[in-house]
Structure 1
Amino acid sequence: MTARFGVLGAVEAQISGHPVGLGHARQCSVLAVLLVEAGRPVSIDQLIDRVWGDEAPQRADGALYSYLSRLRRAVAEAAEVGIERRPGGYVLTVDPQTVDLHLFRRLISQARSAEDRSAAELLTQALGLWRGEPFAGLDTPWLVSMRQSLLSERFAAELDHHDVLLRLGRHAELLPSLSAAVAEHPLDERLTEQLMLALYRCGRQADADEQYRRIRRSLADELGSDPGAGLRRIHERILAADPTLVATKPAAPLARPNVPTQLPADVRAFTGRDRELDALDRSLAPPDGDEPPLTVVLLSGTAGVGKSALAVRWAHRVREAFPDGQLYVNLRGYDTEQPVAVGDALAGFLTALGVGGPEIPPGVEERAGRYRSELTGRRMLVLLDNASSVEQVRPLLPGTGSCLVLITSRDSLPGMVAIHGAERINLDLLPLADAVVLLRRLIGGRVDRETSVAEDLAAACARLPLALRIAAELAAARTDVSLAELVDELGDHRMRLDLLDAGDPRAEVRAVFSWSYQNLPADAARMFRLLGLHPGDSVHVEAVAALTGTDVGEARRLLAVLVRASLVHAGRGGRYGMHDLLRAYAAELAAAQDPAPERKAALTRLFDHYLAGSVAAMSTLYPDGTEGAGDPDAARSWIEAERPNLAAACIYGAAHGWYRFAIALAGTLFRYLDAGGPVAEAVTVTASAVSAARAVGDREAQARALSDLGRLHRRQGRLDEAADTYQQALILYADLGEHAAEAVALRNLGSVHWRLGDYRQAADHYRRASAHYERLGDIAGQADASVQLGRVDARLGDEAQAVTRLRSALELVTKLGDWYSEAYVLSLLARLSHEPADLEQAGIHLERSLAAIRQAGDRTAEAYALTDLAAVYAHGGRLTEAAGHLGRALLLHRRIGDRASEAEALNDLGQVLRAAGDATEARAQHEQALILAREIGDRYEQARAHDGIAATLDRDDGGPHRDLARRLFADLAVPSAPDLAAR
């Protein structure tokens, strides 16, 4: 007779289609536990804990035996079903596919690797197995926790189902269920993406945009975060009416963006660890007991025991269980010089998840929040390798149960277990038999001919996989020497080094390192030592040549020697890396054997190589008006590949005496990092330059670095920090008598106060800058100061004075032949003019300017030119063109990360849309502007947003917004904002 079991609803059993009586709730709970673990043993203690929790009676075991006996009788008629007592506990012997839970999981797994039509059928079948809440009517703590986990699995499957149906063009039939799901899960970004796409495909663009505005407000109010990259991307495409959104092929836009596959290569000749691999496999099942929905597994053990190798092997084995990708970072937690900062790790993960450099938040907490938002609803594996503390790991934990986190650490990290419910797997030395097997796989038949000696060799290597691999490579290279001789030789090295602390396998592994190192040729040994000085995680062969003072061919030859000795591992694209123990050992040898001047010379050569490469790449990417030499794509690829090393070198240089190098490298890289590199690295590198300049007392370099740091803060909307940093630079420039730089600092400081709404202070800075420019005879500077003062006049309501200043500036830039600035000044004048000729002239100049800017590829300048041209068009009644230009400008501002300009453009677009008669869309733009302006502290744009929202509502509903706008305008001492589209 065939049995069927169900837990996706009330717990039930059927034999040959007839229901089976399962008894009272406690007895049903016993069966539920066994069904979840079908085919796996569950101990008595586990059963008691899961069935009673903290309320177990004194004779719970006796009651449990009674329940098990009754359940045995209940299912006795079914073939191949039974409840057996085994060494590990009680096992329900049953075909897992007769249990709805396990059938559901198998169907989901099949669907995720099937083509869309088959996947749709499989997902429909899987979701059809659900009859209600899992374990309905049962409420033990373990079952409640398991219920929530299973509901998360169902939700993830529903999202997958939506994606498939959208790719198949079945958006119309999805709308009702998507709308209901969004109402139930209002903060789920993936779900909102799906609803927005379905609405757009059904011709409801405004409703799609309304959904985006709704979730943006909710995320800001409830989580203090912005929408993730995927949600913003689809919103931008909807606004731009992207024609590919209507496609129904598998390449549809809702295929999950940016599926990272960051796992390192699997380990060659991996051996043993079956018990640990089985334990890791069990972690894929829903969590037990009161553990949180997020599954965290900790692999702990001594250095060199193979934690990373095991973690990477298992991660590759189960990667299909994580269709949304795998994230990996080596935290280098035990590196005394360069452990990975939490903020940098988060920035790396966000970049891998598709968050552009300018969009990465500046602070660690903000990054952690954005990281958790990006992972919401994704089924991902996160591998945190070489962690040293709970504090280093905690911000990297996702906030969703759909992910699994695997951590490796030499420490037992008790806080991860106590606070975060991590399951710890302690990794011991390899069993002797497995250690010999590993030697056999690496060395070959010699192990079988000298079995007892091979065991001695394994013992001499402390049964540590890293040491075993090094010893095996040496044995394989010295075929003329017996294993017995090699074991004796290793013993001699151990005695000479006197490194044996009883019971410390790390001492043993250092002896093995020494054994292998002593057999290197002198030139390869020197390279090994110097590699320990490199501050980065991996190094290119060209950098190795610089470090060692050899040519590339010789460096490649010596690296091959080190690779064969397993002292260095080869990566992709000519890059090489070292295990952290080997790096520490190499650095120790360098300190002992290479005189300080030679070590300094080696690092100086390396840093010169990095600086020269950076200068060459930047000259190619930013030729500054001259024809650049070289391939821009190659230059960009070089910087991207070396960027972590460049940042590490800059930080190391600033901390260890290469101050001039740190200053020069940071200054060279700034334009690239500012334009699109990760904000975390831009701030870290620039701050390193500030500290290096202070260390050598170079106040001019310190002022330049502070100016760069102020720009980064301003771009991120951190206006108070920007003002403070610019003020420090200003004081330094004034003390130095650098009047030209002082004028620039005053101008920048004025721009920050402009954004803060302190117009009197801004005007004072602009006037002081103008005085400097006048004394210096800098006509372009004088023109710019006049423009900025004219903007202040216009903002404060003195339009006559503004026109006077702007016309004066126009004369100056026209004489200079600066038609970029000429176009900008004309656009400002056109906003104050009612003459069609002024509008026409400004439009012609701006269109010419925009074409040249696009040809040059300057996205920042293009965004500003589009905004200016839109203002001129709007003022002249060309509303459709104005709206189009503002839409494009918004996309650019977001990619660049210019949040202040984004808020301004949103308000501009709101005014244009309102003038075009679309009050609903106008209000949407003003609401987005309000959220953003509040975040960055721009009170003027807040006032404009409130004013715009009020204008789209009737008198009663708009009253509160109108009052807030008036109050803000009054606080700023400015008249109400001019209407961009007024004629």
Structure 2
Amino acid sequence: MAAEFGVLGVVEARIDGRPADLGHARQRCVLGVLLVEAGRPVTPDQLIDRVWGERAPQRAAGALYSYLSRLRRAVAGADGVEIRREPGGYLLTVNPQTVDLHRFRRLMTTARAAESDRAAAGLIEQALGLWRGDPFAGLDTPWLAAMRRTLLGERFAAELDGNDVLLRLGRHGELLPALSAAVAEHPLDERLAGQAMLALYRCGRQADADEQYRRIRRLLADEMGSDPGAELRRLHEQVLAADPVLSVPGGDTRTPPGPVPVAATTVPTQLPADVRAFTGRTGELAALDRLLESPDGGEPPLTVALLCGTAGVGKSALAVRWAHRVREAYPDGQLYVNLRGYDAEQPVAVADALAGFLTALGVRAPEIPPGTDERAARYRSELTGRRMLVLLDNASSVEQVRPLLPGTGSCLVLITSRDSLRGMVAVDGAERVNLDLLPLPDAIGLLRKLIGARVDREPDAAAALAAACARLPLALRIAAELAAERTDVPLPELVAELGDHQVRLDLLDAGGDPRAEVRAVFSWSYQNLPEGAARAFRLLGLHPGETAHVDAVAALIDARPGEARRLLDVLSRASLVQPGRGGRYGMHDLLRAYAAELAAGHDAEADRRAALTRLFDHYLAGATAAMATLYPDGVPVAGDPDAARAWLEAERPNLAAVCTNGAAHGWYRHTIELAGTMFRYLDAGGPVAEAATVTASAVAAARAVGDRDAQARALSNLGRLHRRQGRLLEAAETYRQALLLYADLGDAAAEALVLRNLGSVDWRRGDYRPAADHYQRAGTLCRHLGDDAGRADALVRLGLIDARLGEESEAARRFGSALDLYATLGDRFSEAYVLSLLARLPHGPIPLEQAEAHLDQSLAAVRRAGDRTAEAYVLTDLAAIHARQSRFAEAAGHLRRALVLLRRIGDRASEGEALNDLGQVLHAAGDAAEARAQHGQALALAEEIGDRYEQARAHDGMAAALRDLGDSESARPHADAAGRIFAELEVPAAPAGEVTTVGR
């Protein structure tokens, strides 16, 4: 029986044309996950996480087994469909073309590779016709919400590609109405605006095209503080000049006379420099070239290629050479990461690799999601529609690379690994090219390029040298460098010398492993180093990071920077280190392992520890100086803030490595101090996941030395990072641990702060009574300490709870008391905020105009200070005041600007509140459709982080918008959900103009 499956709308299955009974929502979630991962095993833990999120019941595994059993029965008898348990998890075997999602992606891949625009237009129309609504409609889990956003991004990219095709075909007239509607829905999308401008111009509406450009320029300036990109500016100039290049194309062509503008995007070019004196590998290069050819039958070309072979065989060199050869076919950029899969100490975590890629793609650090799955989804979204080459070097396993695969066929992934990675071939359709040792003629040819005519004068010795190097390019290059330096020694003598080293090395007892022979070459080259360079080489093997600046090397080897640079030049000439940009040096992973082994055998443990202590001291001193320059805290400090920021960014991976290694290997004080020093920088702009890793290392180090004060500080910082990531349960537990420590230590001031932070987590989760208890305790402590600022903050937070519970008079009393304290302290910013809270109460004692005036002053002050976080909060406060005054256009403008800032900061919880506020404002202004869209985004965010009150607000807003749109049937479940959650929280439904509390 034929089967068809759908996730691009309601999750459904049809067997022989009849709908299958898929059961309740949770069971359909299970099928939805399996359909997304069709052909790939999903572990039980992954299924539970994706189907329940953080709210999995105790017996989730049993429920999951029951759901899978029912789903097996539901699809029983369908041709080629099976759900079975594999060693790697549960696997849904199905023809991908029977699943609408995979068919959509295949159609889009084929369309983007089509030879004609007419063919592409037909394929894109088919692809978009598969969509029946929002993906997984009616199902809401954090994972499905993130996947829904990813898929909607893919659909939008497909629509944009379709617009380009239709414009090239001259169908601008029929396209214009849809473009106008899309621009209204996505007013800040530059590519879409460019398409609308071109369509307007070709329809004879030059003035309207000019106005479209001016409109998006104003919006970008008001809401993002930026100008249109170069492509859109160029198109505008062409429109004003009536440039003939914008005329309608004369026929069906893939290359129009005038460019169809696209949004200005970041184009990364991360490939390492091409390899010097590359030799041979013509067969392998040809094999890689063939992989890019479209197979028969119109299938799209390969998207994943593997280069496999032993260490030192030249996989990375071949990958880099070929990537440079084909880079022009990937105009949207090239991504590169050395995964260091065989480094026992420092393999690159998948989450860190994804963070690096997202940064290279232009995603701001605060906007990088916290979890690996969410990062992978954002990564796939960023690559949708782009033609990019991704080089994953030195991978150790399928698990390390699979999350780094794009979700679009327009990209090519090239992977190098010592492992065969069979799973990539079996599941992901990768093609493997195996690298063997260089053929002897090619090995000799490489020597000829490196050491010249001596090879032809002494061919037997050259052949013997190639054989002694196991015909491995890495060893050949090292041997050639030594031969080039010792021109006075005949080649046969050098070969004999190497032979003696091979005999003496007991490391050669490795069953013919060519890597053992490479070690002999390493030894040969190492033995010819001057003592200072030899010591520097050994100690470099101890460095925890991938590259080191010359200043760090100087600290490691206890030398002046000039001497360190001289020794590094010696090592570079011997091909034992690779120089990079900006005075940085790196090592091949085999050489790093060999150097560390030498250090363990030649240098006393005390000397090795002293070297690392000097290195860690260097990094701690550098971080301390840079942070003092960036954040002087009122004390004048000499230094260039731009240089300090550049140093921190360049050394950030090494600083993180020092913390993780220090916690693991006994440098506890360095870890504690370095993590504490870096926290403000990482919290403000570094990847949140990296900040959490560093801070967790500080927690472990403080525990190891029994420093309870340092442990409490690190836990408090870690709780903040968890809260920023929306991981509220982890944040609460971490804050509780810090609270217990501070209570035992008798640090009442710190205890009061943690109590307020813990209360804010309870507030976010809708646990108002525990939140109030924490705020009361904090206020009492602050009163005893004479901390009026802390006491005022506790009063404000208690007042917010009163306002939410409908106790207006008590809220007004607390806000008034806090206002008096802030006035005494001279804290004008907090004073303005409390005035706005009083003004926004249903019967507020403060005139709206008075609150607005104070907020305007605050806004000017925070903008002068460049405090984007505070600016976002003040804009949201102003929006609430303006909404109460029915100034909806101004309120919406403030909220859109606040949303831009909140996303840039990474304040996900506050983003959800602002989205709901914007939805309310738009609904009040009569734009129910856009209000529904904003509430939908808020709902996904609130469900992801567990903010029950914002979930209720979003459901309530969705219901109201849908009723206004005439869809009462769809509105009913949202209204029911809102009423149920409000009742569970024991709070009244959110009134229009309620007290909003973004970020406070």
TM-score normalised per structure 1: 0.77
Taking the aligned partners of 2:401 and 2:789, their CA distance within structure 1 comes to: 51
Match of 1:970 in 2: 983
**C-alpha displacement of 1:632:** 1.9
2:653 to 641, 644, 647: 644
Give the direction of change, closer, same or farther, for the CA distance of 1:158–1:737 in structure 2 (3 Å limit).
Answer: closer
Partners of 1:170 and 1:526 in 2: CA distance: 70
Q: 1:312 is matched with which residue: 314, 320, 323?
A: 320
Q: Partners of 2:417 and 2:931 in 1: how far apart?
A: 53
Secondary structure, aligned partner of 2:507: coil
CA offset at residue 166 of structure 1?
7.3
Which of the numbers 569, 586, 598 marks the counterpart of 1:589?
598
Displacement of 1:198 in angstroms is 4.3
Q: Which amino acid aligns with 1:794?
A: A
Who is 2:805 aligned against?
A: 796
**C-alpha distance in 2, partners of 1:165/1:243?**
28
Q: Decide whether the 8 Å contact of 1:108 with 1:126 is kept in 2.
A: no
TM-score (norm 2): 0.76
What are the superposed Cα offsets for residues 442-479 of structure 1, whole Å, 9 maximum, x if unpaired?
A: 11111111111111111111111111111111111111
The structural deviation recorded for 1:782 is 0.8
How far apart are residue 929 of structure 1 and its match? Answer: 1.9
Q: Number of aligned residue pairs: give it.
A: 818
The equivalent of 2:668 in structure 1 is 659
CA distance in structure 1 between the partners assigned to 2:858 and 2:124 by the alignment: 64
Partner residue of 1:244 out of 220, 228, 240: 228
Is the alpha carbon distance of 1:242 and 1:812 closer, same or farther for their aligned partners in structure 2, counting shifts above 3 Å? closer
2:422 to 394, 414, 424: 414
Residue identity matched to 2:536? M
Q: 1:288 to 1:570 in 2, by over 3 A?
A: farther
Choose which of 606, 613, 627 in structure 1 pairs with 2:615: 606
Quick check: 1:331 aligned with 2:339?
A: yes
1:767 CA displacement? 0.5
Taking the aligned partners of 1:129 and 1:910, their CA distance within structure 2 comes to 36
Distance 1:106 1:818 in 2: 61
1:695 equivalent to 2:704? Answer: yes
Asked if residue 276 in structure 1 is aligned to residue 284 in structure 2, the reply is yes
| CA distance in structure 1 between the partners assigned to 2:112 and 2:840 by the alignment | 59
Q: 2: distance between equivalents of 1:235 and 1:405? A: 37
Equivalent in the alignment of 1:465:
473
Q: Name 2:133's counterpart in structure 1.
A: none
Shift in Å, 1:666:
1.3
Change (3 A) 1:235 1:718: farther
How far 1:522 sits from its partner (Å)?
A: 1.0
Structure 1 match to 2:578: 569
Do residues 369 (structure 1) and 377 (structure 2) align?
yes
Partner of 1:818: 827
Tell me by how many angstroms 1:171 deviates: 6.2
Query: 1:342·1:395 contact (CA, 8 Å) conserved in 2?
Result: yes
> How many Å separate the matches in 1 of 2:786 and 2:715?
26
Closer, same or farther in 2 for the Cα pair 1:832/1:160, shift >3 Å? closer
Q: How many angstroms apart in 2 are the aligned matches of 1:505 and 1:270?
A: 21
- 2:246 alignment partner in structure 1: none
Aligned to 1:621: 630
**Paired letter, 1:799:** E
Change (3 A) 1:786 1:202: farther
Q: Tell me, yes or no, if structure 1 residue 322 matches structure 2 residue 325.
A: no
Mean Cα displacement is larger for which, 801-810 or 250-259? 250-259
2:405 — aligned with what? 397
Distance of 2:888 and 2:187 partners within structure 1 = 34
Change (3 A) 1:856 1:242: closer
Q: Alpha-carbon deviations, 1:177-213, whole Å to 9, x = none?
A: 989999xxx9xx999985576468889xxxxxxxxxx
Is 1:477–2:485 an aligned residue pair? yes
2:507 equivalent in structure 1: 499
Structure 1 residue runs of 5 or longer lacking an equivalent are 1-104, 112-121, 135-154, 204-231
Are 1:263 and 2:276 an aligned pair?
no
2:779/2:794 contact within 8 Å kept: yes
Q: 1:260 to 1:426 in 2, by over 3 A?
A: same
What is the alpha-carbon distance in structure 2 between the residues aligned to residue 129 and residue 865 of structure 1?
A: 49
Structure 2 residue matching 1:272: 3-state secondary structure:
coil
With 949-958 and 550-559 compared, the bigger mean Cα shift is at 949-958
Q: Is 1:706 equivalent to 2:719 in the alignment?
A: no
> Is the partner of 2:817 in helix, strand or coil?
helix
Distance 1:595 1:241 in 2: 57
Structure 1 CA distance, aligned partners of 2:217 and 2:498?
A: 60
Q: 1:302 to 1:294 in 2, by over 3 A?
A: same
CA change 1:252–1:833 in 2 (3 A) is farther
1:559 partner amino acid? L
Q: Against the structure 1 CA distance between its residues 233 and 666, is the aligned structure 2 distance closer, same or farther, given a 3 Å change threshold?
A: farther
How far 1:728 sits from its partner (Å)?
1.6
- Give the residue type in structure 1 aligned to 2:733: D
- Do the aligned residues in 1 keep the contact of 2:501 with 2:520 (CA within 8 Å)? yes
CA distance in 2, matches of 1:757, 1:426: 57
The answer to whether residue 957 in structure 2 is matched with residue 948 in structure 1 is yes
Aligned to 2:762: 753
Q: Return the alpha-carbon distance in structure 2 between the equivalents of residues 364 and 973 of structure 1.
A: 36
Secondary structure of residue in 1 paired with 2:581 = coil
Letter in 2 for 1:485: E
Aligned pair partner of 2:781 in 748, 767, 772: 772
Match for residue 432 of structure 1?
Answer: 440
- Alpha-carbon contact 1:174-1:198 (below 8 Å) kept: no
Amino acid at match of 1:647: A
Alpha-carbon distance, 1:280 to partner: 0.7
The residue that corresponds to 2:353 in the other structure is 345
Report the alpha carbon displacement of residue 158 of structure 1 after superposing the two structures with TM.
9.7
2:86 equivalent in structure 1 = none
Answer yes or no: is the 8 Å Cα contact 1:622–1:628 preserved in 2: no
What amino acid sits opposite 1:617 in the alignment?
A
Equivalent residues of 2:719, 2:730 under 8 A apart: yes
Alpha-carbon shift at residue 931 of structure 1 (Å):
2.5
| Aligned AA (1:795) | R
**What residue ranges of structure 2 are gaps of 5+ in the alignment?**
1-108, 128-155, 201-215, 237-257, 996-1000
- Choose the corresponding residue for 2:557, options 532, 548, 558: 548
Aligned pair in 2 of structure 1 residues 822, 608: CA closer, same or farther (>3 Å)?
same
Map 1:722-741 → 2, pairs under 5 A: 722-741=731-750
| AA matched with 2:309 | G
Distance 2:806 2:754 in 1: 26
Give the match's secondary structure for 1:821.
helix
Please list, as runs of the form range in 1=range in 2, the aligned pairs for 1:533-544 lying within 5 A after superposition: 533-544=542-553
Contact 2:112/2:410, CA 8 A, preserved across alignment:
no
- Point out the structure with max Rg over C-alpha: 1
For the pair 1:979 / 2:992, whether they are aligned, the reply is: yes
Counterpart of 2:740 in structure 1: which amino acid? Answer: I
In the alignment, structure 1 residue 867 sits paired with structure 2 residue 845:
no
Query: Aligned partners of 1:336, 1:265: CA distance in 2, in Å?
Result: 26
| Contact persistence 1:358–1:896 (CA under 8 A) | yes
**Does structure 1 retain, via aligned residues, the 8 Å contact 2:164–2:195?**
no
- 1:156 to partner: Cα distance: 10
Shift of the 465–907 alpha-carbon distance from structure 1 to 2, 3 Å rule, reads: same
- Write the letter of the residue equivalent to 1:970: A
Map Cα deviations across residues 306-335 of structure 1 (whole Å, 9 max, x no partner). 111011111111111222222211111111
Residue in 1 aligned with 2:103?
A: none
Identical aligned residues as a percent: 73
- The corresponding residue for 1:85 is none
CA shift in 2, pair 1:106/1:441, >3 Å: farther
Query: 1:229-264 CA deviation, whole Å, 9 max, x = no partner?
Result: xxx999988977987386425999734622221111
Contact in 2 for aligned 1:258/1:352 (Cα 8 Å): yes
CA gap of 1:637–1:802, structure 2 versus 1, over 3 A, is same
Determine the C-alpha separation between the residues in 1 that align with 2:408 and 2:110.
Answer: 22
